Amino acid sequence: MNLHSLKELFGKEKPVIAMAHFPPLPGAPRHDPQMNMGAMIDAMGNDLQKLLDAGVDGILFCNEGDCPYALQGDFEAATVMTRVITQLSPRDRPFGVDYLWDARLALAVGLATGASFVRGVFTGVYESDMGLWKTDAAATLRYRHAIGADHIRLFHNDTPEFASYLGTRSAGERAKSAVVSSLVDVILVSGMAQGMEPELHTLKEVKDAVGDLVPVLLNTGAKANNIKKYLAVADGVIVGSSLKVDGYTWNRVDEKRVRVFMKAVNEARRG
């Protein structure tokens, strides 16, 4: 995937992909039994409409509320996410799926719901809050092919939250390798947790390393007051926490914050 195909997919240069966060799903420790399917659809639908009305270029559905995160998802997560996304996914803009942290589950839900991309960690070994995290790009890409989902793009998180890479390669070296060896379509650069900014020099290093092979997007930490400096390097942005009430990840979407952010993005796009 190059910059031209990124623009074709989202309809804009330097696209803004906004997060549609699921509340804790059934089976997760913080799941509220009162949050039934109807309540979940109502809450997420209200958030989603605010994001779309403010002009974001794409949506990423994610099980953000499912702390502590699992490296392998369960049936109830796949079915609930599929049910909600099928009803709420936009028809006029692309959307993606992320399951923290099971890439196969995201691909399966993405195929069932018509997603254009999935976000995940597709290659590398990490120490993490979830324990020793060993990915398998070969198995994941073969699974994608086997289920007929080769059209779903892989947005790879090169510096995943809540984890650190086991090895001596730099972020740039890992990103270039992920593109060439593991065939990912987009590289993402993150801070240490959701809502946290990565070092700008890390973003620059990754962008320099992959060049024009694939787009590089900012994955966490985007805010109205910093997006200009990040979009001077990044080819787009995924944003969630700063669009919520008080900038807090677990709150509902604040429409005013979304509009202020999009205004800052449009100013950055104009240079």
* Average pLDDT over every residue of 232-246: 97
What is the per-residue pLDDT for 271? 80
What is the per-residue pLDDT for 243? 98
Query: Can you list the domains of the chain with their CATH numbers?
Result: 3-264 (3.20.20.390)
What is the per-residue pLDDT for 119? 98
Of 155, 80, 148, nearest in space to 114 by CA: 148
Of 1, 4, 8, 10, nearest in space to 237 by CA: 10
What is the per-residue pLDDT for 108? 98
C-alpha torsion 187→138→144→51, nearest 10? -20
* Average pLDDT over every residue of 237-243: 97
* Structural contact between residues 76 and 112, judged by C-beta atoms closer than 8 angstroms: no
* Average pLDDT over every residue of 132-138: 97
- Quick: pLDDT tens for 82-112: 999 999 999 999 999 999 999 999 999 999 9
Asked whether the whole model's pTM tops 0.85, one would answer yes
- Quick: pLDDT tens for 20-53: 999 999 999 999 999 999 999 999 999 999 999 9
Of the chain, the percentage scoring pLDDT greater than 70 comes to 100
- Quick: pLDDT tens for 155-192: 999 999 999 999 999 999 999 999 999 999 999 999 98
- Alpha-carbon distance values, 92 to 88, 178, 208, 240, 269 (Å): 12, 31, 33, 20, 22
- Alpha-carbon distance values, 243 to 100, 104, 139, 152, 225 (Å): 20, 28, 35, 26, 12
